[in-house]
């Protein structure tokens, strides 16, 4: 089948490359001509494991191409995916649908013959109805159907998630459209990937409900972690104890500095706004957002507690390892590292920073820090090392070498990467999350 993917950002690029790997002919369209030119030369604008090879293979095979003008790709397409950004709108937290509406108006005028239009972007309930209205307004004679097909990709594991999904959710109201999108996903039948066919509004709400529930699990275990510290319990063992219950499950029960990224923060805000607009306030989700926002900055107090807890870090050099919101991505959107670093600076600390992949992005959004070339360079002369992102490179640091180059031996492990006993055997004061606090250093 011929597919036009409108938007060559994270979702569009991964989805387009995977669809082409299935054997479909895909054109990824983006109005950023410089991005398109870079993609044509094999320069990938995002960090996603396996994506450069996947794109190169399918470009070489003639199944994947890139364009900045959508008219021809849309006119030739059997199915058009809208995969543009929907960031939080300033002021009210609602999803900004201006890019979706602009893409819809542009593609509407280029439609030629029966075409299925798919909203792949994460959009509030009712957006597919609005997309249909806009197309009818722009092109009254168009023969088309609108489908909702939300994405469930995890950054850092997106290709596997696309090819081996837990489920595929498709909101469709017309049998013709159902047949077309079923053909697009036919290669996944061999994997027995479950496909849920439903109506469009249910599909749209399913995406938001899924992300809000996962964000709630993270926030819940973070609050249990705070309690565990106070009562002398171990949150990791608590998480294992409850996660073995099949009704709960073990995933998203890892205590840490709070969730970030491109999805959970904006999607929870958008869901809250949808609830308010429909006079159905979502109190649990509202609390999740508030608790998570407070937690990110509060992590600086955990660093301060390692030096007596008076909130004063003047004269201290703090090494921050990891600034992306999770490993295996360069995405810093709503990363816990940013408010943490700001709070450390407010306490008077001098901050040193290293991330294996995120340094170019960090330099755009973090000021008045020292950027370092590796973890040991970052730790040199520091009074404390703070592990914020659980990159594999940080899981087996040479503790003896760290102790020899640091000004004082303090490790604040916000991801519980290390065993406290192992770290303390090497002469460090250790501070984790959700485990009984050692005596102040």
Q: Which of 173, 197, 221 is the last residue of a domain?
A: 197
Q: Give the number of domains in the chain.
A: 2
What pLDDT score was predicted for residue 440?
A: 41
Q: Which two tokens stand for residue 16?
A: 């387009």
Q: Let me know: does 273 contact 92? Beta carbons within 8 Å.
A: yes
Please say which residue of 152, 169, 197 terminates a domain: 197
Cβ atoms of 397 and 375 closer than 8 Å: yes
Catalytic annotation, residues: 263
The mean pLDDT of 45-61, rounded to a whole number, is 96
Higher pLDDT pick, 43 / 310: 43
The answer on pLDDT for 342 being more than 50 is yes
Q: Is the pLDDT of residue 9 over 60?
A: yes
Query: Would you state the pLDDT for residue 441?
Result: 41
Instruction: Answer whether residue 430 shows pLDDT above 70.
Output: yes
- Mean per-residue pLDDT, 308-320: 88
| C-alpha torsion sign, points 349, 342, 294, 260 | negative
Please report which confidence band the pLDDT of residue 439 belongs to, taking 50, 70 and 90 as the band edges.
very low
User: Do 101 and 228 fall into the same domain?
Assistant: no
- What's the DSSP call for residue 307? T
Q: What is the mean pLDDT of the chain?
A: 95
Please tell me whether residues 295 and 265 are part of one structural domain.
yes
pTM: 0.93
Given a contact cutoff of 8 angstroms between Cβ atoms, the answer to whether 208 and 150 are in contact is no
Q: Are residues 382 and 433 in the same domain?
A: yes
Same domain, 213 and 189: no
pLDDT tier for residue 70 given thresholds of 50, 70 and 90 = very high
Q: What percentage of the chain reaches a pLDDT higher than 70?
A: 99
Residues 260 and 122 reside in one and the same domain:
no
Same domain, 73 and 148: yes
Same domain, 224 and 252: yes
> In this structure, what CATH number is given to the domain that contains residue 390?
3.40.50.720
Catalogue the E-assigned strands of 83-207.
115-119, 144-148, 168-171, 195-198
Residues 379 and 273 in one domain: yes
| pLDDT > 90 fraction of the chain, expressed in percent and rounded | 93
* Residue 437 banded pLDDT, cuts 50, 70, 90: low
| Res 311 pLDDT > 90 | no
Q: Of 136, 168, 197, which residue sits at a domain end?
A: 197
Average pLDDT over residues 128-143: 97
The CA-CA-CA angle for residues 228, 234, 240, to 5°, reads: 115
Per-residue pLDDT reduced to its tens digit, 291-304: 999 999 899 999 99
26 and 131 belong to one structural domain? yes
**Where is average pLDDT lowest: 206-220, 392-406, 425-439?**
425-439
Q: Please tell me the predicted confidence (pLDDT) of residue 309.
A: 73
Task: Say yes or no: 214 and 178 in one domain.
Answer: no
At residue 55, does pLDDT exceed 70?
yes
Looking at residue 189, its pLDDT comes to: 83
219 and 139 in one domain? no
Name the least confident of 84-93, 125-134, 166-175, 253-262. Answer: 84-93
| CB burial string 292-308: b at 16+ within 10 A, e below | beebbbbbbebbbbbbe
> In angstroms, rounded to a whole number, what is the distance separating the alpha carbons of residues 343 and 54?
40
Which residues form the domain of 93? 2-197
């Amino acid at each position: 089948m011929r597919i036009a993917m409108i938007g060559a950002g994270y979702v569009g690029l991964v989805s387009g490359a995977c669809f082409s790997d299935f054997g479909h002919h895909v054109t990824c369209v983006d109005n950023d001509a410089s991005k398109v030119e870079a993609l044509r030369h094999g320069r990938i604008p995002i960090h996603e494991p396996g994506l450069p090879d996947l794109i190169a293979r399918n470009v070489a095979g003639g199944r994947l191409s890139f364009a900045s003008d959508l008219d021809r790709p849309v006119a030739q397409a059997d199915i058009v995916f809208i995969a543009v950004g929907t960031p939080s709108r300033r002021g009210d937290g609602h999803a900004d649908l201006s890019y979706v509406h602009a893409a819809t108006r542009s593609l509407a005028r280029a439609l030629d013959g029966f075409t299925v239009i798919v909203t792949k972007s994460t959009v509030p309930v009712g957006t597919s109805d609005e997309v249909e209205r806009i197309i009818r307004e722009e092109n009254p004679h168009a023969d088309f159907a609108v489908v909702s097909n939300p994405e469930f990709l995890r950054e850092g594991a997106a290709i596997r998630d696309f090819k081996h999904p837990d489920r595929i959710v498709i909101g469709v109201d017309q049998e013709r459209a159902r047949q077309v999108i079923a053909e697009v996903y036919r290669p996944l039948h061999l994997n027995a990937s479950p496909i849920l066919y439903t109506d469009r509004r249910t599909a749209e709400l399913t995406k938001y409900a899924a992300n809000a529930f996962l964000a709630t699990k993270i926030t819940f275990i973070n609050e249990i972690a705070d309690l565990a510290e106070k009562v002398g319990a171990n949150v990791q063992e608590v998480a294992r104890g409850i996660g073995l219950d099949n009704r709960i499950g073990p995933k998203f029960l890892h205590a840490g500095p709070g969730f970030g990224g491109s999805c959970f923060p904006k999607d929870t805000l958008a869901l809250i706004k949808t609830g308010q607009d429909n006079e159905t306030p979502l109190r649990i989700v509202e609390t999740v957002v508030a608790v998570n926002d407070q937690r990110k900055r509060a992590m600086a107090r955990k660093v301060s507690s390692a030096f007596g807890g008076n909130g004063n870090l003047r004269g201290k050099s703090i090494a921050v390892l990891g600034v992306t919101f999770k490993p295996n991505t360069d995405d810093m959107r709503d990363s816990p590292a940013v408010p943490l670093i700001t709070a450390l600076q407010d306490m008077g600390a001098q901050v040193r920073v290293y991330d294996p992949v995120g340094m170019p992005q960090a330099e755009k959004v973090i000021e008045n820090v020292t950027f370092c070339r590796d973890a040991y360079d970052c730790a040199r002369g520091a009074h404390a090392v703070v592990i914020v992102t659980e990159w594999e490179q940080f899981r087996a640091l040479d503790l003896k070498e760290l102790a020899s180059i640091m000004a004082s031996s303090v490790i604040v492990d916000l991801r519980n990467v290390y065993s406290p006993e192992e770290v303390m055997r090497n002469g460090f004061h250790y501070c984790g999350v959700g485990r009984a606090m050692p005596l102040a250093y």
